[in-house]
Chain A
């Protein structure tokens, strides 16, 4: 800040020195010296890190004056306007301005130069020194047009109304106009009196800039906090997680006048999701950009200059600067906010980061709310789903009970009704139908009763020593049928378990029957082996059918769920088999899961402990321990 005031002052000293040396008259050498002074001032200004916008203002004022003084004498009015336009355009290209800003800035500078040129051309040289008048007109026009263009840029960048922004800055504009007018008048007066005018003009010019800048900053700060309040209020009601991220990014973008903003939020499962908002609207941010933001070091809001070639600068090639706010410690919702800007770091960076940090606190609250809302909504939907499933289950049970009953009653009434008219074969078939369907009805009722008792916790395992080898062997021989490949494989050492034989038989039988029903091709295998931890056994029932998609692998164990519930599909069961198996496995202290068979198909994995936890350790468990002592300490391990 002070440096550029010094730079402008240095330029004016150089200008005055040239004027003094030439005794008030211009020569080509004088012009060169003036441009040299201008270049020196540029260099001085360029060395100092400062807000690019202010640097541009300082440079342009110096440039305007130099170009005005030199060009008016050498080029004439048209040349002045052209030179100003090309100078401004060059400055815009160098500072990588956006197209809209280039148009505003070039138009502003041209306007200022044109006003100066017109005044110069029509000035009566006897009343007023022509270049004094030109500088006066040029500076005044520049200050006013720069206020107008800055307001216009703010209006576009922050999606606000131009008139609104202008009115908010009206006080600043008025003061700036008055100040520049008084500076101009002083310049004119001093110019008339002495060629040392520019030297005395320098501090006044600096004062004008300081005053207008301070007012503009104060007004901007005020507006920023007001907008922070408004933005926070607007986001308080957001319920959807992704919507919240997009809205928060949009609000953050307005708060620090960036050209794009990303809001990343962490879901309860730990995944980070980001939404990018720029001129084209909201879009999901790439995972590598989100990861780069989340990985930014530091725990305080800060402005970060973007280094060339980094993931972030590749994502936003126009950006030179990133204002970034990490999640606040202790906040429930985790949120990162980042705003990309095309203007480099400046002395306001800290204040801006603070505003963004404050907003980030509200953002975290909003995201936490959105996540909570989502959680409640999901729980509600699960509840509705469960109710729906129960309804479907009732309909299924009703159908399943009615169908066999229809057959039993129908068969018996047919025999009675058609007495004497039926052949012995038909009578026989009717009787068989009645018997089979009666049996089916009985099994269904048993299943239902078992589910009811398992759900009410009335089921107790009857524990005794079970020989797994002979149990699996007998199940396989019971279920074997012609054309069905059924194999059993029991690893040595997992022979004896203390468990409920009847329930274990029920689980394995059910799983094998399930395989036979849905994937008979390729055969079914039952494999029993020791758990890797030696804490029990693993029993796998493997089929080679089409398999079950991963998304449905847990669902098959839910009560009342059948993968295809449509009414046109003939159902074989009640939707209780696998649910009951899992309940029984839990009762025996084990677990039942479904995984994919290598090469296609499904594998049900049943794990069972040597005996259910919490059961009293009796003599039998001592026997088990003795039996398995060789297993627990295999010879291969003792050698290590």
Chain B
């Protein structure tokens, strides 16, 4: 059963086209979308807005996604937030590096939109809504 609380998703990607199409799809699914165009911004927004899920690109200016992921998982305020790495880094070694940094899911670009959205729906449903 889905509660009435509007789930918030932080999307961080430095490519404006990708950021836009992700936002469009997530908003169409009824999510509240917070956008970040670099790693530093993503880290600040994650701490302030405390989203229900984070979609992170890896290669970003200021701070790369793996670095932000490590910080998120080390901070007691944000460590419960599921993180999806969405990246063009697709070799076995790079994927393994992403999992080791604490990713909850790893999707390589180009990705299948349905797969990403299905995963987000699934994760957000099983995660209890924060007590307000």
Contact = CB atoms under 8 A, between A and B. Distances in A.
B60 to A, nearest CB: 6
19 contacts: A395-B91, A398-B88, A399-B88, A402-B88, A405-B109, A406-B109, A407-B17, A407-B18, A409-B110, A414-B21, A417-B113, A417-B114, A422-B28, A430-B21, A433-B20, A567-B58, A567-B64, A568-B62, A570-B61
**Max chain A CB contacts within 10 Å: which of B14, B21, B60, B112?**
B21
A429 interface: yes
A395 B91 CA distance: 9
A429 B20 contact: yes
A421 B90 contact: no
B28 A418 contact: yes
A408 B18 CA distance: 10
Contacts of A395: 89, 91
A45 to B, nearest CB: 82
A572 B89 CA distance: 17
Contacts of A569: 61
Given A406-B18, A430-B21, A413 B64 contact: no
B18 A402 contact: no
A568 B61 contact: yes
Contacts of A188: none
B109 A567 contact: no
Contact of A402 (B20, B21, B62, B110): B110
Contact of A410 (B18, B63, B91): B18
**Max chain A CB contacts within 10 Å: which of B22, B24, B28, B91?**
B24
Nearest to A429: B20
A433 B88 contact: no
Nearest to B59: A567
A433 B17 contact: yes
A406 B24 contact: no
Interface string A458-470: 0000000000000
Interface string A405-444: 1111111011001100110001001100100110000000
Nearest to A409: B110
Contacts of A417: 25, 28, 113-114
A403 interface: yes
Interface residues of B, number: 29
Contacts of A406: 18, 88, 109-111
Contacts of A409: 110, 113
- Rank and list the top 7 A-B pairs by shortest CB-CB distance, nearest first: A402-B88, A406-B109, A406-B110, A413-B113, A399-B88, A405-B110, A407-B17
B126 to A, nearest CB: 23
A399 B21 contact: no
Given A398-B88, A407-B21, A414 B109 contact: no
Contacts of B82: none
B15 interface: yes
A568 B20 CA distance: 20
Interface string B67-91: 0000000000000000000001111
Contact of A403 (B15, B64, B112): B15
Contacts of A430: 21, 24
Contacts of B111: 406, 410
Contacts of A433: 17, 20-21
Contacts of A429: 20
Contacts of B61: 568-570
B14 A570 contact: yes
Given A414-B25, A437-B17, A567-B64, 20 more contacts: A395-B89, A399-B59, A399-B88, A402-B88, A406-B110, A407-B15, A407-B17, A408-B110, A409-B110, A410-B18, A410-B110, A411-B17, A413-B112, A417-B28, A418-B24, A422-B24, A426-B24, A568-B61, A568-B62, A568-B64
B28 A402 contact: no
A575 to B, nearest CB: 15
Given A433-B21, A568-B39, A402 B90 contact: yes
B108 interface: yes
Interface of A: 395, 398-399, 402-403, 405-411, 413-414, 417-418, 421-422, 426, 429-430, 433, 436-437, 567-570
Contacts of A410: 18, 21-22, 110-111, 113
A417 B101 CA distance: 32
A568 B28 CA distance: 30
A596 B101 CA distance: 44
A406 B25 CA distance: 14
**Max chain A CB contacts within 10 Å: which of B22, B58, B59, B89?**
B59
Nearest to B63: A568
A69 to B, nearest CB: 92
Contacts of A436: 17
A421 B22 CA distance: 15
B88 A403 contact: yes
A440 to B, nearest CB: 10
A567 B68 CA distance: 13
A436 B24 CA distance: 18
**Max chain B CB contacts within 10 Å: which of A430, A437, A568, A570?**
A568
Interface string B32-68: 0000000100000000000000000011111110000
Interface string B102-124: 00000011111110000000000
B111 to A, nearest CB: 7
Contacts of B88: 398-399, 402-403, 406
A402 B39 contact: no
B30 to A, nearest CB: 11
Given A411-B21, A414-B24, A402 B108 contact: yes
B24 A402 contact: no
B54 to A, nearest CB: 18
**Max chain B CB contacts within 10 Å: which of A395, A405, A406, A414?**
A406
Nearest to A408: B110
Contacts of B21: 407, 410-411, 414, 430, 433
A216 B20 CA distance: 94
Nearest to B112: A413
Contacts of B109: 402-403, 405-406
Given A406-B88, A407-B18, A430-B21, A568 B59 contact: yes
Contact of A399 (B25, B89, B114): B89
Contacts of A402: 88, 90, 108-110
A426 B27 CA distance: 12
B11 to A, nearest CB: 12
A418 B22 CA distance: 12
Nearest to B108: A402
Nearest to B38: A568
A421 B27 CA distance: 10
Contacts of B108: 402
A113 B18 CA distance: 100
Contacts of A570: 14, 60-61
A311 B82 CA distance: 73
